[in-house]
Amino acid sequence: MNYTIAALPGDGIGPEIMESGLSLLETIGKKFKHDFNVTVYPFGGAGIDETGDPIPPQTIKGCQEADAILLAAIGGPKWEKAEKTPEDGLLQLRKTLGLFSNIRPIAVSDSIAHLSPLKTERVKGTDFVVVRELTGGLYFGQPKMWNDEEATDTLYYKKSEIEQIVRQAFDIAMTRKKKLTSVDKANVLASSKLWRKTVNEIATEYPEVTVEHLYVDAASMKIIQHPTAFDVIVTENMFGDILSDEASVITGSLGMLPSGSHSKKGPSLYEPIHGSAPDIAGQNIANPMSMILSVVMMLRQSFHLYEEADALEKAANDAMDAGFLTADLGGDTKTTEFTAAVQANLAE
């Protein structure tokens, strides 16, 4: 089979971990006889440097025509004052491709529970998914303006946007432990009142799913206090940004978490949860696991290449089990050494 992939290495540690992910994808392609046609496009700060635009037209076109998109990471102090920032480019990409749902699995396997900042007993067994709305809310609502006197952002949702993401979350809950936690601030926000009503309506279509509503402040506490109590969390864009990042650190292994963003139809986008980490860029010390697992996620969810995904995942986990650990995990394995170890496992 033939698969077209748009790769956006971006900024900071992005290019290094993308290189790791793509070289392993190539090996999987050879091993399982698939053609992965990867084209690399300028994006983010790299897009600005190359073309003056964080998301130049050829990048949009390349992404739209691809079967899937791999993004590494974007942003950095260098472009903070740009007229159109790397982040603006990312938001435009999400909106243009209609990537309304961002899925972030948060799991703590017993073997890494000791890495968590939380007490080991408390975090062991944590296994949930954050479903974040990605193309609405405060990020995109109009008016959005500021001057020297005042500033306005708008948290706007159409009911249909809420339905779309909530339904996806229920569908995911049906494949798991059938428990859905909807997070809002319905005691204060009008948008949350519509959100909660919509969740309750859609809940009637999924009688098997247990639904819980939590205020966002209570959710931020419960993620720390009882992380094992969650199965699927669904929430709007801004709350999802905060809570999914909070949730990602309780695993103690931010460098290992992938995420997937999906649209109604069209290519999905896979990327690490973490940022571009400019402070450690170019030193060959970044952990490429999150990128490798993003490739695994793509193989599974976009291409349904389960055997291939399992092989890559196993090769990567075996490398870690054999003691190849990057600095974030307390080891001194270099990025390229880790990739080579995974390659060696795939060659066996």
- Binding residue positions: 94, 104, 132, 217, 241, 245, 275-287
What stretch of H or E contains 47?
A: helix 45-51
> Is residue 217 a contact residue for a second copy (CB under 8 A)?
yes
Q: Does 187 bind ligand IPM (CB under 6 A)?
A: yes
The answer to whether the beta carbons of residues 250 and 223 sit under 8 Å apart is yes
Q: According to CB under 8 A, which one of 138, 174, 329, 340 is a site residue for a second copy?
A: 138
d(CA 71, CA 22): 11
Residue selected from 153, 163, 212, 318 as contacting a second copy according to rule CB under 8 A: 153
Active site (annotated) includes residue 318 = no
Residue 41, binding choice from ligand IPM, a second copy, none, Cβ under 5 to 8 Å by partner class: none
Q: Assess whether 265 carries a catalytic annotation.
A: no
CA 191 – CA 208 distance, rounded (Å): 26
Query: What's the token pair of residue 56?
Result: 């130049």
Asked if 90 interacts with ligand IPM (CB under 6 A), we say yes
Choose the catalytic residue: 3, 41, 53, 139. 139
Q: Is 188 in the site for ligand IPM (CB under 6 A)?
A: yes
Judged by beta carbon, residue 181 or residue 192, the one nearer ligand IPM is 192
Residue of 49, 217, 310, 321 marked active site: 217
Select which of 88, 153, 245, 318 is catalytic.
245
Q: Give catalytic status of residue 270 as yes or no.
A: no
List own/partner pairs for 177-180 with CB under 8 A and 24 or more apart: 177/231, 178/208, 178/209, 178/210, 178/231, 179/209, 179/210, 179/212, 179/230, 179/231, 179/232, 180/206, 180/209, 180/210, 180/211, 180/212, 180/231, 180/232, 180/233, 180/234
Concerning whether 3 is annotated as a catalytic residue, the answer is no
Closest to 31 in 3D by CA, of 304, 292, 312? 312
Residue positions annotated with a catalytic role: 139, 185, 217, 241, 245
Residues near a second copy (CB under 8 A) are 75, 80, 85, 87, 91, 116-120, 122, 138-139, 141, 144-159, 185, 187-191, 193-195, 216-218, 220-221, 224-225, 238-239, 241-243, 245-246, 248-250, 254, 275
